[in-house]
Amino acid sequence: EEFLTVSGILEEISKIDRNIANEAEQNWIRYRPRIIFNKCNLPGELDIVPSIENHFKQNLLLKGDYFGCLFTDAAVTRAFQERKTLKNVEPYSHILEDIHLLADRITRLWKKPIRNSASLLKSNS
């Protein structure tokens, strides 16, 4: 069974009105999904990134920005079980530091595309 792609939808629109299809495509490609991986156990889990990028490109005509990866940390589980904030349970944990770094990256880079973000994510994890 064939599935819909953005290209296919734009082709169908183009058969009706080429100008509207062009305008729709220009509006569509402005979107950039921002991706954060959560609860990773090993850096190798990020080997899926090229596949995600390919899917975005081939089926959705999009480019994503990969903001980071948060690895599993026992402190998060403890905080959840104790119904306390992570900062109260383990204020100097690696995960809390990673969350702060990720928040800073999001604040600084949200409005502009990140060049080679998939490669950067892979090499920095």
The whole-model pTM stands at 0.76
Amino acid 16: pLDDT: 97
- Per the listing, tokens 């490669």 go with 119
pLDDT of 15: 97
DSSP result, 63-115 = --EEEEEEE--HHHHHHHHHT--HHHH-TT-HHHHHHHHHHHHHHHHTTSPPT
Name residues of the chain where pLDDT drops below 50: none
In this prediction, residue 113 carries a pLDDT of 83
**What is the per-residue pLDDT for 79?**
94
Q: Which domains does the chain have, with CATH numbers?
A: 1-30 (no CATH), 32-124 (3.40.50.300)
Q: What one-letter code names the amino acid at 35?
A: I
Which pLDDT value is given to residue 1?
Answer: 66
